Chain A
Amino acid sequence: MSTEEILVGAVAYDAKVVPIWDGIRAHFREEGVAMDFALFSNYERQVDELLAGHIDVAWNTPLAHVRVQKRTEGRSRSLGMRDSDRDFHAKVIVRKDAGISSLEGLAGKTLAVGSRDSTQARILPLHFLKEAGIDVTQVKQLAFDTDLGKHGDTGTSELDVLTALKDGRAQAGVVGDLIWVLEQAAGRIDTSVLEPLWTTPGFDHCMFDALPTLAEPKVQAFQRGLFAMKWENPKHRRILELEGLKEWLPAREAGYASLRAALDAIDYW
């Protein structure tokens, strides 16, 4: 690995990841920051390669982020996140004809859930339901373990949950609030059939992680390049739209405590 060049790892959860990172690399170069990227097929591999020092920075899901922090004993560096990564929520959506008017009403019903490594469609909603006093063993789970290793990035399992609800294979389901609102805004949800029942407490999502040993000039160069991307710039906007954000923001750590507690509880580190 070049001593000058910053090597960023990202997971190829979709074909669009290539134009996203080609575009970000071109932008960094215009900003005078030498950067290249390496794509991984899953977050477990990416985290291993970061910890082995084979990449400088990893673009991580919340699950990968807290795992990096645990494995570095809290010494890893968090370099930035999307505006859309802050204040994420999960939603419990129900069929209006299922007669579920409270969380207690989920007992005995079928609850569609996303991939077991998806923070927003499985890990945290089930955790928050338990915290709210719901015995989830009394709920029949219909699980969509699609794209394991991608930590729910593809959104496929959340769309599977919505489809199962629409088709009546489940009476309730959990998805992230982002996909719930974006699907509604695009006119793809029949609100005469589905309605939200409950919103979880907030949590934060993806993060750029680096090892504590990453040289300070590289940290600064990376952040300078990242935060120079602007929504009003047509070239940047295309990349930002693909990556699902309007603005890169500084890192904050407060939004990951619930995920750590959930992983402790289900022993999923």
Chain B
Amino acid sequence: MTDTPAAIAVDTGDLPLGGGLLAIVRPALDRLAHGGVLAVLSSSRAARDDLSTWCRIERHEHSCLTDENGRDRHLITRGALGVPRGVREHDVTLPQRVDPLTGRPRITSADVLAAAPFPARADRSTGLAPRGARVEPGGPEYPFALVERDRVAPPEVAQLFDQATSSQWDASRDIPWGDVRPLHPALEAAIGQVMTFLAENELSALYVPSRFIARIHPAYAEVAMFLATQMADEARHIDVFLKRARAAGGGLGVSSATSSRSLLSLFDPEDFTEASFLLSVLGEGTFLDLLRYVEEHAPDAATAEIARRTRVDEARHVHFGVAHVRHALSTDEALHRRLEDAVRRRAATLHDLASVPAPIHDALTVLAAGSDEPRAIARGHERYRALLDDMHEGRIKRLITAGFSPEQAQALSDLHTPNFM
């Protein structure tokens, strides 16, 4: 059987038009192209004229013959108006894969993407129609700005979405909060300051992607869906960091003007790739090293678990950012230059930010020291300096993975904000 038959016959019994007949006739007509013929066998006397009127309204041609048994045989030739654009999906059966952990079958988003691949370009007049749906003509054009696959949708995104949905955790339940004990006041204050800084930065990572979701054409919905998981992750991180700050009497620290200015500049880019590059590749990438540092020097198991879990989530965001930029760079040679310019512009607006904001600098030092005893502080200071070197090296590695040359990577990392994010 072909996808679009030339003729179909249906039996509508004695159903009148307003009594269910259209629920048989309309789906049957939907299977026909313009000019296709639907034969409707009906024993409803009321439907005889009503179907003719309905066809007149819908601009289908209609004729009706009555057979020797008094049953009507309506012939409806589908009109040209309102025939949906696109090809009807048929024979799509998604594979079921056995989950190695539970033994239960899974249907993955990666398989959905394989069955219905991203188009190279999307059409704004298809509105919010899911990819693969046929679209009735005459709908309004939506103001989606991101309509090119290579600028929006790296092929890894569906897999990352699968990972994200299966990796969600609960900040109330999944942290060993019972292990939190009152610490030395200086150390508890340092924890409060670090958590304040982390939460403030994560708020930027919650808000920045939200600016782009509504610009992404639904043909690339997996990207919007992934960003939604990223935002859910950030929401959980903000929540867990603030809980830790208040869990043992430390309370919140200071939000420095330097951090605030640095984060505000993340709102400047109007281009999705530039924003993703600054936020996810450079900012969240640097954050991975910071979270590893917090985990390593955590004074209790709860703080270590918080840093570990948030780092796993952030690594996924960085993975998406790197994949997005790498995919875009591979298809657009001029993009290297634009991304460099974005980093330079940001550096220029932050040119007077010479160093890490003092409150977080001190708190990270005390955290690694474990106390405010001078010899311990000296050790903490060394660890802190090593962190800055680790961050620089990590950025260079990620920039090279994204598709920059070692020289470009070196230059871009040097220009990165001292605020980490």
Q: Which of A83, A84, A191 contacts B46 (CB 8 A)?
A: A191
By size class, the interface of chain B is 20 to 34
A234–B17 touching, CB < 8 Å: no
In the complex with contacts A183-B18, A189-B18, A195-B16, A231-B138 CB distance below 8 A: yes
Tell me which residues from 138 to 177 in chain B have a Cβ below 8 Å from any Cβ of chain A. Answer: 138-141
A204 an interface residue at 8 Å Cβ cutoff? Answer: no
**B59–A195 contact, CB under 8 A?**
no
A184-227 CB contact bits vs B (8 Å, 1 = yes)?
11011101100110010000000000000000000000000000
Across the interface, name the chain A residue whose C-beta is closest to B125: A234
B210 CB to closest chain A CB (Å) equals 28
Instruction: Identify A192's interface contact among B19, B125, B139, B141, CB under 8 A.
Output: B19
Output the nearest chain B residue to A236 by Cβ-Cβ distance. Answer: B138
Residues of A within 8 A of B332 (CB): none
Contact of B17 among A84, A181, A192, A233 (CB under 8 A): A181
CB contact under 8 A between A181 and B137, given known A195-B16, A196-B49: no
Known: A180-B50, A199-B49. A185 touches B18 (CB 8 A): yes
- Is A48 among interface residues, defined by CB-CB distance under 8 A? no
B22 at the interface (CB under 8 A from A): yes
Pick the contact of A233 from B49, B53, B56, B138 — CB < 8 Å?
B138
User: CB-CB < 8 A to A231: which residues of B?
Assistant: 81-82, 137-138
Q: Chain A residues in contact with chain B, CB under 8 A?
A: 83-84, 86-87, 89, 91, 177-178, 180-185, 187-189, 191-192, 195-196, 199, 231-234, 237, 246-247
Taken together as a complex, chains A and B put the C-alpha atoms of A247 and B82 apart, in Å, by 12
* Cα separation A234 to B140 with both chains bound (whole Å): 5
Name the residue of chain A whose CB is nearest to the CB of B26. A185
Given contacts A87-B56, A195-B46, contact A184 B16 (CB under 8 A): yes
**In the bound complex, do residue B125 and residue A178 qualify as a contact, i.e. CB atoms below 8 Å apart?**
no
CB A159 to nearest CB in B, in angstroms, measures 15
CA distance A231 to B140 in the complex (A): 12
Assess whether B54 is interfacial by the CB under 8 Å rule. yes
- The answer on a CB contact under 8 Å between A234 and B138 is yes
A contacts with B: majority SS: mixed
Partner of B59, one of A182, A189, A246: A246
- B57 adjacent to chain A (CB < 8 Å): yes
| Nearest opposing residue in chain A for B137, CB measure | A232
Instruction: Give the contacts of B108-143 with A (CB-CB under 8 A).
Output: 125, 137-141
**B141 neighbours in A (Cβ, 8 Å):** 234
Expressed in whole angstroms, the minimum distance between the Cβ of A90 and any Cβ of chain B is 11
List of A residues within 8 angstroms of B16 by Cβ: 184, 191, 195
Chain B residues contacting A184 (CB-CB under 8 Å) are 16-19, 22, 50
Interface bits B11-30 vs A (CB < 8 Å: 1, else 0)? 00000111100100000000
Q: Which residues of A contact B125 (CB under 8 A)?
A: 234
CA–CA, A189 and B53, complex, Å: 16
Q: Closest approach, in angstroms, between the C-beta of A85 and any C-beta of chain B?
A: 11
Please determine whether A187 and B57 come into contact, CB atoms closer than 8 angstroms.
no
Cα distance A188–B17 in the bound complex, in angstroms: 11
Taking a contact as CB atoms under 8 Å apart, the answer to whether B81 and A181 are in contact is: no
Could you tell me the distance in whole angstroms from the C-beta of A108 to the nearest C-beta in chain B?
Answer: 24
- 9 pairs of A and B residues whose beta carbons are closest in the complex: A184-B18, A191-B19, A237-B138, A189-B18, A177-B53, A191-B16, A181-B53, A199-B49, A232-B137
Residues of A within 8 A of B56 (CB): 84, 86-87
Nearest chain-B residue to A191 (Cβ)?
Answer: B19
Question: In the assembled complex, which residues on chain B have CB atoms less than 8 Å from the CB atom of A84?
Answer: 56-57
Min CB gap A203→B, angstroms: 13
A196 B50 Cβ-Cβ under 8 A: yes
Pairwise interchain contact B50-A181, C-beta atoms closer than 8 A: yes
Q: Is the CB of A178 within 8 A of B138?
A: no
CB distance from B53 to the nearest CB of A (A): 4
Q: Judging by beta carbons under 8 Å apart, are B17 and A185 in contact? A: yes
Determine which of A86, A199, A232 lies in contact with B138 in the assembled complex, contact meaning CB atoms within 8 Å. A232
Which residues does chain B contribute within 8 Å of A180, judged by CB atoms? 50, 53
A185-B138 CB under 8 A given contacts A199-B49, A231-B81 = no
A234, B54: Cβ atoms under 8 Å? no
Residue of A nearest to B49 (CB): A199
With both beta carbons as reference points, the residue of chain A lying nearest to B22 in the complex is identified as A185
14 contacting pairs across A/B (C-beta < 8 A) = A83-B59, A89-B53, A180-B50, A182-B57, A183-B18, A184-B50, A191-B17, A191-B18, A191-B19, A192-B19, A231-B137, A232-B137, A233-B138, A234-B139
Q: B28 CB to closest chain A CB, in angstroms? A: 15
Q: Is the CB of B49 within 8 A of A89?
A: yes
Interface residues in B34-64 by Cβ distance below 8 A to A read 46, 49-50, 53-54, 56-57, 59
